[in-house]
Amino acid sequence: MKNLRILVTTALVIAMSGLGVRTASAADSTAADCTDASSAPAVRAEAQPVTVWLAGDSTMANPSAGRPCPNGWGSQFGALFNSDVTVRNQAVGGRSIQTWLYEGNVSGTKGSDGECRLTSSTYSSRWQAMLNASTGMKAGDYLFIQFGINDSSSTCPRHVGPARYQQLMTAMAQAALARGAHPVLLTPVAAITCSGSTATKNRGFVNQTFAAGTATRAPVVDLQTLSVSLYNSLRFCPNNGDYGSGPVGAFFCNDHTHFETHGAQQIARLVAGDVRRQKLPLAAYLK
């Protein structure tokens, strides 16, 4: 009898031990499943559509109908992005930053401060449209601002002094930020000028552009430096003054300032490349 009890007890112990092992194994398996689930990569959120707004002059503007030249780099910018990006090019030829902002309200005379007088503080229709709460810049959009070519004029209405230039660029960037958009500031793209066999910089307002970027914490694309480096890599210099033929003629209009379509594409790629280099969130949309 005693031996029978010992056998039964032993059998129960073995059974419970096996059950315990199986229970522990199940618990371990469940824990492992939980661990695997928590460590699994999160599902990537679907990309949100983004509008890139462009404000600038003829070196950025779309070409006029039926005219291949001049062709601004902004006309070629959209092709570098995927379908989630829409580029709205509001650049206009012949504009300084002030005449772009206050179209028709900049007089032909200077005030005591040396700046062209405003006849009205009303913004241009293009800037008002971009500021529109319903149809203009929205959170997550981008505003690229590039002026500084016509602004160097000594006469009104295009003349803009350095301090005024910085003030207006800062104000535009702040307006974008107030709407949750991301301003990106650009130094003016260079024309092709040569010093012997070297292409040289020929634009102003560089320091003011960087200062506006610092004031608003906006990234700055130094397009003047990038474009001059490109011209040198393509060996555009020396040049005998013929801007209508050869590699230079395929890149520039015959005024050595504005771009043929090929040149506009190259400059647009420079801007996109710097967006990627600076790791701006917009780079995620580049092809």
Name the stretches of the chain with pLDDT < 50: 1-45
Domain 50-190+203-224+264-285 sits in which CATH superfamily?
SGNH hydrolase (3.40.50.1110)
Closest CA to 282 of 42, 41, 54, 43: 54
Q: Could you tell me if 45 and 79 are in contact, meaning their C-beta atoms sit under 8 angstroms apart?
A: no
Q: Could you tell me if 73 and 60 are in contact, meaning their C-beta atoms sit under 8 angstroms apart?
A: yes
What contacts 197, CB < 8 A, 6 or more positions away? Answer: 235, 237, 238
pLDDT digits 0-9 by tens, 83-101: 999 999 999 999 999 999 9
- The domains of the chain are located at 50-190+203-224+264-285
Angle between helices 223-233 and 261-277 (to 10 degrees): 120
Burial class (CB in 10 A: 0-12, 13-18, 19+), 150: buried
User: Residue 118's beta-bridge partner residues?
Assistant: 106
Would you state the pLDDT for residue 243? 80
Would you state the pLDDT for residue 239? 85
Would you state the pLDDT for residue 149? 97
Would you state the pLDDT for residue 245? 83
What is Dmax (Cα atoms) for the chain? 123
Alpha-carbon span 127 to 246, nearest angstrom: 39
User: Residue 220's beta-bridge partner residues?
Assistant: 185
What pTM, to 2 d.p., does this model score?
0.83
Alpha-carbon span 128 to 55, nearest angstrom: 13
